[in-house]
């Protein structure tokens, strides 16, 4: 669908990798899990080299390997590994934290944070590969750092010491945990139950925050800034006057803009993303615009520039190539008047393109297009590529093509592959399980897109279908959260479809109904073409994907089996979360139109799965994190007791599972589950005998229910 602007030149090293792959190997869940991801792209001051971090899961050691590399921008030699990146950090929802490095002004070193032996320090690695060592030696973990212009001084911030945090945890253990709005009641444990910063820690919600993100004890201790001489190692405390200046944030700008221009020229709410030009202080910003009634976000994005933070003059990008576009990321081209901006096109299945806008002339030019991800790497990040005046280096990936590194010339758009650590898997997927974008509309004219992995024909007739509904961006190893191995399913004879969700509607019934309509309409489409068997359809999802999956089970007869990882709306969820007070109750009303249980009982009856257990005909596999499973027990336990659901709980896991062994177990069990229910297949591995015996018992119960249901009219498909 997309053509590269210029021909991609493949380096000799990459050609050798491709040449080594002759016979396609099985696309197993483990191969999908152990894909190498690339993040932290940053180009050297002279533009000759790029540094980046590689991260890869190790199932055997149940950890992630991270390494920093440096590669010449001409691509004539493979990248040089210069340092271990330490423990791979993840946020409290389970997402990986991208790498971040800073070059020394002379181009001889890179500086980065790394968690090694339980200590978060700033390290520096020699670009020539001669070694790496910590620059800071502090009893507290480093929160942030900045290198001075001349490269001789490193400034860094810390919070509470590691010993103080551990002591605070132990004090709670000894004296009891006092329950307030910050305590995550309802999760598996309150004492050191969250795997964060490389160890099990006691966690808290941020007081007054509507989110369920967690922080460690004593996170509220204010930043203390210090400075270390990188030559001598001498450290001193920094007075506030010497602390690194903080760039203006969206909240900083919003009041200034309101006062200066009354928001009239922005035509909507305050900007949601901004980027400061370090050379001039100019600020590029993105603001959501358009008619957003009924939507969580306004549908359009305005790209603009402020000459400086306090300016009352705003310059908009008015060229056709930057208006009416879903601009998702911005960054300045060094030593120029150009802003590089990324468009993530929902109509093209989340495909990304990069443009450059000259803020003086107003001219906009296309730099590069991709059928998938074209950015700074990571799984769901929208950060910018590494950039110099001459070129940018981006991570490129699409549904069936794992990440690789490319150099893109900003003047000519010529592209060159620099590094492809996943070349073997890419070649095997191209041979065995290629994917393609499909588009369709439902009966109301709502447009949808999805990435479709057609099944390899292992039997006569249409294949079963598995559907995931949420976000389908970049390389799709298993949907948001990586739970359902699309390519493995396709290789084993089950077509897999990842559907990009429609714009998020504020009305819960409306947005769930749109999801159900997307599933129903695409089943009709694929079945009419003879590609899938509509009687053998499965579905799964995480978070919002879980909600739409369970709504589809509740409101239709479309599914033969389902698999979820998160709780849906439930009384337990309300009970535990209500401890947060208005910080929870306000979004509950806004996004679900729910009040207290006795305040909106009819709305609770409509949205709660527990009130519709008699409508559940499809068996449900629940593979949930320990932090969340209790919230689902008011409907999970009755279903389990009646052999209509199967529940597995993964200890010390957050919203998205993070530990490689857990992720692989979830992958493989989901593959077994859908092969069992959609194909009647059982893996002969003796270790799985008990699993299949239980599922056969569930099938007997389901058969009785189906016999009774056959005597009643089919439920209306919505």
pTM attached to this predicted model: 0.92
Distance separating alpha carbons of residues 157 and 137, to the nearest angstrom: 12
6, pLDDT greater than 90: no
Q: What is the pLDDT of residue 261?
A: 39
Q: Do residues 434 and 400 lie in contact, with contact meaning Cβ atoms separated by under 8 Å?
A: yes
Q: What integer is the mean pLDDT of 153-164?
A: 97
Distance separating alpha carbons of residues 393 and 370, to the nearest angstrom: 14
3-state secondary structure of 707: helix
316, pLDDT greater than 50: yes
Q: What is the pLDDT of residue 705?
A: 73
Which has the higher per-residue pLDDT, 613 or 92? Answer: 613
678 membership: H or E segment, kind and range: helix 660-679
In terms of residues, how long is the chain? 718
Closest listed residue to residue 384, CA positions, set 397, 372, 368, 395 = 395
Residue 155: which residues within 8 A CB-CB, separation 6 or more?
A: 145, 146, 147, 148, 225, 226, 227, 238, 242, 243, 244
Q: Which two tokens stand for residue 376?
A: 């700074």
375, pLDDT greater than 70: yes
Q: What is the pLDDT of residue 254?
A: 55
Q: What is the pLDDT of residue 374?
A: 95
219, pLDDT greater than 50: yes
Distance separating alpha carbons of residues 374 and 367, to the nearest angstrom: 11
- 274-284: pLDDT as tens digits: 899 998 999 99
101, pLDDT greater than 70: yes
Stretch(es) of the chain classified as CATH 3.40.50: 433-437+444-566+657-709
Q: What is the pLDDT of residue 312?
A: 73
Q: Do residues 157 and 137 lie in contact, with contact meaning Cβ atoms separated by under 8 Å?
A: no
Name the pLDDT band for 245 (thresholds 50, 70, 90).
confident
Buried b (16+ CB within 10 A) or exposed e, 517-554: bbbbbbbbbbbeeeebbbebbbbbbbbbbbbbbbbbbb
Q: Which range (332-336, 382-386, 537-541, 696-700) has the least confidence?
A: 382-386
Distance separating alpha carbons of residues 100 and 120, to the nearest angstrom: 14
Distance separating alpha carbons of residues 576 and 697, to the nearest angstrom: 33
Q: What integer is the mean pLDDT of 33-55?
A: 97
Q: What is the pLDDT of residue 14?
A: 42
Q: What integer is the mean pLDDT of 393-403?
A: 97
Q: Which range (55-59, 292-296, 384-388) has the least confidence?
A: 292-296
Q: Do residues 383 and 354 lie in contact, with contact meaning Cβ atoms separated by under 8 Å?
A: no
- 510-538: pLDDT as tens digits: 999 999 999 999 999 999 999 999 999 99
Closest listed residue to residue 647, CA positions, set 674, 623, 677 = 623
Q: Which two tokens stand for residue 582?
A: 């208005």
Q: What is the DSSP secondary-structure string of 351-374? A: EEEEEEEETTT--EEEEEE-SSEE
Name the pLDDT band for 13 (thresholds 50, 70, 90).
very low
Name the pLDDT band for 253 (thresholds 50, 70, 90).
low
Which has the higher per-residue pLDDT, 20 or 350? Answer: 350
Q: Which two tokens stand for residue 64?
A: 């992630």
Query: Which CATH number is associated with domain 433-437+444-566+657-709?
Result: 3.40.50
Distance separating alpha carbons of residues 36 and 28, to the nearest angstrom: 15
Distance separating alpha carbons of residues 374 and 393, to the nearest angstrom: 10
- Rounded (10°) angle between helices 689-709 and 660-679: 40
10, pLDDT greater than 70: no
* Strands lying side by side in the sheet with 132-134: 101-103, 109-116, 119-126, 132-134
Distance separating alpha carbons of residues 479 and 549, to the nearest angstrom: 13
Q: Are strands 338-345 and 109-116 parallel, antiparallel or unpaired?
A: unpaired
392, pLDDT greater than 80: yes
Distance (Å) of CA 671 to CA 491, 492, 532, 573, 636 = 11, 9, 18, 29, 21
Distance separating alpha carbons of residues 42 and 101, to the nearest angstrom: 7
> How many helices (H) does the chain have, and how many strands (E)?
14, 38
| Cα 420 from chain centroid (whole Å) | 21
SS (H, E, C) 10-46: ECHHHHHHHHCCCCCCCCCHHHHHCCCEEEEEEECCC
Name the pLDDT band for 711 (thresholds 50, 70, 90).
low
Mean pLDDT of the chain: 91
Q: What is the pLDDT of residue 713?
A: 60
Q: What integer is the mean pLDDT of 214-230?
A: 94
692 membership: H or E segment, kind and range: helix 689-709
Q: Which two tokens stand for residue 190?
A: 């309150």
198, pLDDT greater than 60: yes
Name the pLDDT band for 710 (thresholds 50, 70, 90).
low
Q: Which two tokens stand for residue 498?
A: 């990842």
Q: What is the pLDDT of residue 414?
A: 97
- 474-513: pLDDT as tens digits: 999 998 999 999 999 999 999 999 999 999 999 999 999 9
Distance separating alpha carbons of residues 69 and 387, to the nearest angstrom: 17
Name the pLDDT band for 197 (thresholds 50, 70, 90).
confident
Q: Which range (333-347, 359-373, 449-463, 668-682) has the least confidence?
A: 449-463
Q: What is the DSSP letter of 601?
A: H
Q: Which two tokens stand for residue 539?
A: 């579905």
Q: Which range (42-56, 571-585, 666-680) has the least confidence?
A: 571-585
Name the pLDDT band for 291 (thresholds 50, 70, 90).
confident
Q: What is the pLDDT of residue 210?
A: 83
Q: What integer is the mean pLDDT of 42-66?
A: 97
Q: What is the pLDDT of residue 196?
A: 78
């Amino acid at each position: 669908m997309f053509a590269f602007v210029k021909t991609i030149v493949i380096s000799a090293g990459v050609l050798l990798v491709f040449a080594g792959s002759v016979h396609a190997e099985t696309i197993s869940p483990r191969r999908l899990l152990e894909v190498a991801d690339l993040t932290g792209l940053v180009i050297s001051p002279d533009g000759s080299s790029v540094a980046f971090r590689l991260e890869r899961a190790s199932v055997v050691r149940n950890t992630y390997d991270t390494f920093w590399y440096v590669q010449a921008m001409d691509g004539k030699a493979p990248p040089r590994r210069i340092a271990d990146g330490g423990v791979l950090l993840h946020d409290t929802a389970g997402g990986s934290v991208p790498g971040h490095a800073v070059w020394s002004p002379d181009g001889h070193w890179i500086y980065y944070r790394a968690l090694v032996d339980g200590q978060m320090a700033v390290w520096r690695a020699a670009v020539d590969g001669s070694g790496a060592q910590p620059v800071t030696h502090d009893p507290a973990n480093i929160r942030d750092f900045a290198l001075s212009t001349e490269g001789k001084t490193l400034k860094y911030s810390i919070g509470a010491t590691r010993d103080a945090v551990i002591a605070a945890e132990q004090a709670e253990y000894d004296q009891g945990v006092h329950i307030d709005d910050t305590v995550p009641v309802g999760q598996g444990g309150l004492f050191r139950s969250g795997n964060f910063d490389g160890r099990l820690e006691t966690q808290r919600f941020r007081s007054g925050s509507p989110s369920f993100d967690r922080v460690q004890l004593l996170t509220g201790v204010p930043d203390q800034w210090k400075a270390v001489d990188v030559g001598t190692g001498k450290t001193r405390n920094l007075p506030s006057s010497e602390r690194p200046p903080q760039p203006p944030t969206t909240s900083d700008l919003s009041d200034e803009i309101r006062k200066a221009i009354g928001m009239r020229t922005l035509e909507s709410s305050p900007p949601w993303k901004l980027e400061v030009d370090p050379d001039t202080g100019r600020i590029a910003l993105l603001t959501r615009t358009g008619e957003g009634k009924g939507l969580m976000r306004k549908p359009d994005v305005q790209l603009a520039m402020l000459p400086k933070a306090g300016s009352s003059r705003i310059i908009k990008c008015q060229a056709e190539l930057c208006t009416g576009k879903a601009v998702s990321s911005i960054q300045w081209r060094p030593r120029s008047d150009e802003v590089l901006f990324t468009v993530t096109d929902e109509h093209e299945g989340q495909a990304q393109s990069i443009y450059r806008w000259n803020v003086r002339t107003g001219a906009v030019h296309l730099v590069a297009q991709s059928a998938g991800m074209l950015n700074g790497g990571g799984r769901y990040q929208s950060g910018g590529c590494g950039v110099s005046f001459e070129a940018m280096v981006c991570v490129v990936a699409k549904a069936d093509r794992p990440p690789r590194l490319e150099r893109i010339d900003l003047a000519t758009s010529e592209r060159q592959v620099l590094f492809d650590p996943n070349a073997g898997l890419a070649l095997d997927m191209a041979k065995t399980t290629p994917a393609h974008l499909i588009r369709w509309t439902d009966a109301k004219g709502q447009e949808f897109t999805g990435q479709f992995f057609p099944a390899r024909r292992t039997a006569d007739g249409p294949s079963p279908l598995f559907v995931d509904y949420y976000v389908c961006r970049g390389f799709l190893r298993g949907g948001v959260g990586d739970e359902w191995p699309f390519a493995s399913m396709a290789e084993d004879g089950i077509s897999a479809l990842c559907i990009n969700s429609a714009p998020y509607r504020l009305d819960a019934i409306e947005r769930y109904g749109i999801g159900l309509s997307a599933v129903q309409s695409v089943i009709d489409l694929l079945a009419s073409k003879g590609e899938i068997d509509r009687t053998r359809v499965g579905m799964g999802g995480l978070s919002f994907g879980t909600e739409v999956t369970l709504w589809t089970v509740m409101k239709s007869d479309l599914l033969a089996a389902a698999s979820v990882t998160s709780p849906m709306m439930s009384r337990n969820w309300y009970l535990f979360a209500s401890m947060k007070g208005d910080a929870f109750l306000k979004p509950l009303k806004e996004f679900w139109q729910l009040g207290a249980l006795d305040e909106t009982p009819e709305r609770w009856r409509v949205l709660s799965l527990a009130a519709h257990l008699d409508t559940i005909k499809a068996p449900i596999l629940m593979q949930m994190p320990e932090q969340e499973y209790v919230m689902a027990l008011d409907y999970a336990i009755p279903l389990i007791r009646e052999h209509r659901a199967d529940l597995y709980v993964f200890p010390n896991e957050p919203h998205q599972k993070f530990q490689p062994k857990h992720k692989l177990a979830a992958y493989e069990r989901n593959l077994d589950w859908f092969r069992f229910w959609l194909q009647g297949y059982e893996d002969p591995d003796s270790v799985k005998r008990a699993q299949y015996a239980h599922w056969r018992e569930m099938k007997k119960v389901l058969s009785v229910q189906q016999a009774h249901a056959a005597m009643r009219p089919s439920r209306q498909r919505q």
